[in-house]
């Protein structure tokens, strides 16, 4: 090996080390200069998440992918069952319906809502799925003009909460 | 303002909102403190008696068995009698008179003002810081009128008029309850008390003298028609619509009340409809029949009309 080759190799190594130091200094100053900013860490997290997804996808087998379609078909987006129960008490549903889990809800004017999740129809006119249930709670008279159930002025948010509570009522 | 159904502490003497309640609290507290002092004293005496030897047994019996109870009981009798008197209130001839008649299981309220008898039901509006004479009556069995936050309770006995003078000292909504077992739905016989500043109270009285609101929407008009043709008017009165029914609560301002069924359910269309269709389930033993022969749309129309009466 000639002197020239050795010198260029040495120069290359020094250049690589120097540029590395300069780049990491620059990144460090930039990162520290902005409070709460951690671009390197964030990039690492993003990369980690991405890779985790890939590994999961690689490892997944058909039987351990959770796909409970029945569960998903009875899930109301943005519905909180706890708030739903409170709202059911406030709108006075219990004066006509039996609603298990709601205090003093033992009405006998309309259908008993025990096991509502497993009913096929809502009010005898709509199929029992979340979108239709929310719509029914908001305006029952639109779907069943002769119904005795009044439009209670339920907002969509409230209807979603109440629907999600009704879907916690399972049949035997 | 929401109903007292959502409100904790709306039915307690310790959140005193009236002169009667304040005196009850005062008597309870002073009795507790005095008996605590006496107990401490007796314990001390016992401690010394343990150390001393013999003698004075007769004096212990006379002092502890006769003199001490005589004094304490006399003091207690006087204190409770005067407190009771102040709770019942001295009769004040100028005070506004409110006549309250208990029925199984609701309250008829008549405000006597300037020679007029202004009727409402199940919600008693009182003026702030003004003595009011309540004339308590009963139509059927013995009931008892009790608003713990404002005053002591008083029985309502058929054939008698019991007078109770009360003064509310805090604005707001309070809860009252029938306090004498009166039948199947006794626990469901409550009412609300609304304390308003004197000017608002006067405005409220005027509103009782006016005709009920007009039916505006087609649904409300249909509701009024159903009300008139289904026999509701035999028991219920609505100012300007039908004023003869006296067996049931006056409905001229029913939608303005915070609750339905004598303080038991929130006032809204759903509860009104459920109530009309099946009273027997919501209030067992109530005199009103269930109107489940109304068609669905008619039921909704009556509920909508009643809700609009404010």
ipTM: 0.73
Task: Output the pLDDT for position A61.
Answer: 64
Q: Do B197 and B250 belong to one domain?
A: no
Residues of A in contact with B271 (CB under 8 A): 92, 95
* CA angle in degrees (0–180, nearest 5) for B288-B232-B293: 75
Residue of chain A minimizing CA distance to B298: A148
Task: Give tens-digit pLDDT for B223-269.
Answer: 999 999 998 999 999 988 888 888 999 999 999 999 998 989 999 89
Cα–Cα distances (Å) from B194 to B2, B96, B188, B198, B204, in that order, read 11, 16, 19, 12, 11
Which member of A106, A149, A152 has the closest CB to residue B268? A152
Rounded to whole angstroms, the Cα distance separating A116 from B51 reads 75
Q: According to the model, what pLDDT value does residue B51 have?
A: 66
Q: Are residues A153 and A106 in the same domain?
A: yes
Query: A124, A143, A148: best mutation site toward chain B, by most B Cβ within 10 Å?
Result: A148
Q: Which residues in chain B have their CB less than 8 angstroms from residue A154's CB?
A: none
A140 within domain boundaries: yes
CB contact under 8 A, A92 and B304: no
Same domain, A81 and A96: yes
Residue ranges of chain A with per-residue pLDDT less than 70: 1-3, 33-37, 60-67, 172
Search chain A and give the residue with CA nearest B270.
A92
Which residues does A contribute to its contact with B (CB < 8 Å)?
A: 90-96, 106-109, 141, 145-153
Domain that holds residue B115: 97-209
Question: Can you give the pLDDT at residue B151?
Answer: 87
In angstroms, the separation between the Cα of residue B138 and the nearest Cα of chain A is: 28
Cβ <8 Å between B282 and A150: no
In-domain check, residue B9: no
Pull the structure tokens for residue A46: 């993003």
Indicate whether B44 and B73 sit together in one domain. Answer: yes
Domain range holding A57?
Answer: 3-64
> Could you tell me which residues of chain B have a Cβ less than 8 Å from any Cβ in chain A?
265-266, 268-271, 273-275, 277-278, 281-282, 292, 294-297, 299-300, 303-304
Cross-chain residue pair A92–B296, CB shorter than 8 Å: no
What is the gyration radius of the CA atoms in chain A, in angstroms? Answer: 31
- CB-CB under 8 Å, A145 with B297: yes
Sheet architecture: strand order including B131-138:
B116-121, B106-113, B97-103, B131-138, B162-167
Q: Do B282 and A95 touch (CB under 8 A)?
A: yes
Instruction: Please report where in the chains the tokens 């939608």 appear, as a residue.
Output: B255
Instruction: Give, for A159, the enclosing helix (H) or strand (E).
Output: helix A156-166
* pLDDT tens profile A91-110: 999 999 999 999 888 899 99
* Shared-domain flag, residues A116 and A130: yes
Q: Answer whether A95 sits within 8 Å of B273, measured CB to CB.
A: yes
Q: What is the pLDDT of residue B189?
A: 93
B181-223 pLDDT, tens per residue? Answer: 999 999 999 999 999 999 999 999 999 888 888 888 999 999 9
Flag whether A41 is in a domain.
yes
Of A64, A81, A114, the residue at which a domain comes to its end is A64
Of the residues A64, A80, A100, which one is the last residue of a structural domain? A64
Please count the residue pairs, one from chain A and one from chain B, whose beta carbons lie less than 8 angstroms apart. 66
Tell whether A93 is covered by a domain.
Answer: yes
pLDDT per position in chain B (310 positions), as tens? 478 887 778 888 887 788 888 888 888 898 899 889 989 988 888 887 766 666 667 777 888 889 988 998 998 899 888 877 777 766 677 888 999 999 999 999 999 988 888 999 999 999 998 889 999 999 999 999 999 998 888 999 999 999 888 889 999 899 999 999 999 999 999 999 999 999 999 999 999 888 888 888 999 999 999 999 998 999 999 988 888 888 999 999 999 999 998 989 999 899 999 999 999 888 998 989 988 888 989 999 999 999 999 8
- Please count the structural domains in chain B: 3
Helices (H), B52-197: 57-62, 68-88
Taking CA atoms, what residue in B is nearest to A88?
B270
Whether B24 and B44 map to the same domain: the answer is yes
B223 located within any domain: yes
Q: Is residue B2 part of a domain?
A: no
B287-to-B103, B213, B219, B237, B257 alpha-carbon distances in Å? 10, 27, 27, 16, 21
pLDDT at A164: 93
- Chain A: nearest CA to B153, how far in angstroms? 27
Domain harbouring A114, CATH code? 1.10.760.10
Nearest neighbour of A96 by CB, restricted to B268, B277, B297:
B277
What is the spatial distance between Cα B274 and Cα B283, in angstroms, rounded to a whole number? 11
| Helices B296-308 and B218-229, axial angle in degrees (round to 10) | 100
Residue B6 lies in a domain: no
Q: What pLDDT is stored for residue A75 in this prediction?
A: 86
**Mean pLDDT, chain B, integer:** 88
């Amino acid at each position: 090996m000639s002197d020239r080759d050795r010198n260029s190799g040495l120069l290359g190594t020094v250049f690589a080390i120097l540029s590395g130091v300069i780049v990491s200094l620059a990144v460090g100053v930039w990162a520290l200069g902005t409070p709460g900013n951690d671009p390197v860490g964030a990039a690492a997290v993003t990369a980690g998440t991405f890779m985790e997804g890939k590994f999961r996808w690689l490892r997944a087998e058909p039987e351990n992918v959770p796909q409970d379609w029945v569960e998903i078909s009875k899930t109301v987006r943005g519905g909180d069952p706890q708030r739903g129960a409170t709202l059911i008490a406030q709108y006075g549903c219990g004066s006509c319906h039996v609603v298990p889990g709601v205090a003093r809800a033992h009405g006998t004017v309309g259908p008993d809502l025990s096991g509502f999740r497993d009913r096929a129809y809502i009010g005898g006119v709509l199929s029992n799925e979340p979108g239709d249930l929310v719509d029914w709670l908001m305006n029952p008279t639109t779907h069943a003009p002769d119904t005795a159930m009044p439009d209670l002025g339920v907002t969509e948010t409230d209807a979603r909460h109440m629907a999600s509570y009704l879907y916690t009522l399972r049949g035997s | 303002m929401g109903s007292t159904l959502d409100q904790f502490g709306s039915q307690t003497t310790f959140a005193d909102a009236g002169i009667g309640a304040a005196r009850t609290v005062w008597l309870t507290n002073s009795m507790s403190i005095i008996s605590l002092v006496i107990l401490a004293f007796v314990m001390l005496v016992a401690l010394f008696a343990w150390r001393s030897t013999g003698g004075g047994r007769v004096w212990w019996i006379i002092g502890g068995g006769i003199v001490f109870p005589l004094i304490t009981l006399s003091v207690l009798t006087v204190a409770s009698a005067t407190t009771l008197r102040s709770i019942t209130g001295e009769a004040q001839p100028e005070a506004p008179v409110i006549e309250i008649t208990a029925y199984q299981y609701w309250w008829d309220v008549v405000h006597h003002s300037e020679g007029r008898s202004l009727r409402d039901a199940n919600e008693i509006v009182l003026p702030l810081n003004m003595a009011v004479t309540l004339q308590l009556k009963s139509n059927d069995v013995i009931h008892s009128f009790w608003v713990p936050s404002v005053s002591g309770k008083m029985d309502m006995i058929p054939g008698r008029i019991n007078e109770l003078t009360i003064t509310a000292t805090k604005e707001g909504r309070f809860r009252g309850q029938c306090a004498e077992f009166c039948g199947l739905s006794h626990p469901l016989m409550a009412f609300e008390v609304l304390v308003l500043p004197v000017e608002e109270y006067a405005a409220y009285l005027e509103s009782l003298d006016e005709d009920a609101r007009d039916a505006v929407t087609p649904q409300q008009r249909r509701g009024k028609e159903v009300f008139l043709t289904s026999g509701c008017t035999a028991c219920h009165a609505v100012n300007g619509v039908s004023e003869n029914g006296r067996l049931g609560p006056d409905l001229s301002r029913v939608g303005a009340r915070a609750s339905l069924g004598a303080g038991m359910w929130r006032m809204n269309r759903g509860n009104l409809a459920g109530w009309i269709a099946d009273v027997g389930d919501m209030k067992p033993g109530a005199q009103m029949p269930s109107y489940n022969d109304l068609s669905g749309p008619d039921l909704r129309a009556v509920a909508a009309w009643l809700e609009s009466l404010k």
